[in-house]
Amino acid sequence: MPVIHASDAVTHEIHGARFVSYATPRTGSKELCAWRGEIPAGTKAPAHTVDREEIFHLLIGELLVTLDGRTDRVTAGDTLIINPGATLTVENPTDHTAISWVTTSIGLRATLADGTEITPPWAN
């Protein structure tokens, strides 16, 4: 059983947020990736469309999440199911960092509104 210690996690930063990667093929995962997301106060991530299902669980804080044009306030303990092809925007309107846990299948790609494709290293 592979154990990924916090000291072994790899941190990535993009669009003002931090992604702390735990489960990836690099760490022994065969099908899934999992990471902790840290969304600082005042951060608004650009809209992006994902090509794989994501399960997004908010551990700490509060976010405004727009999923396919519908905006919801998400609070600690809430979980989002983001289906392939969905467009997502995440905003932290509070004065403290929100913490999430996200799981998806290996190979996730996201496409920004301008057509830029991102292959996040924490999900591959």
Give per-residue pLDDT as tens, 44-74: 999 999 999 999 999 999 999 999 999 999 9
Q: What is the pLDDT of residue 2?
A: 82
Asked if residue 70 is part of any domain, the answer here is: yes
User: What is the total count of domains within the chain?
Assistant: 1
Asked if residue 1 is part of any domain, the answer here is: no
CA 13 to CA 38: how far, in whole Å? 9
Give per-residue pLDDT as tens, 67-123: 999 999 999 999 999 999 999 999 999 999 999 999 999 999 999 999 999 999 999
Q: Residue written as tokens 């735990």?
A: 22
Q: Which residues contact 56 (CB under 8 A, 6 or more apart)?
A: 37, 65, 79, 80, 82, 100, 101, 102
Indicate which CATH number applies to the domain containing 106: 2.60.120.10
Asked if residue 97 is part of any domain, the answer here is: yes
**Residue 31 structural domain:** 6-123
Read off φ and ψ for residue 97, nearest 5 degrees: -70, 135
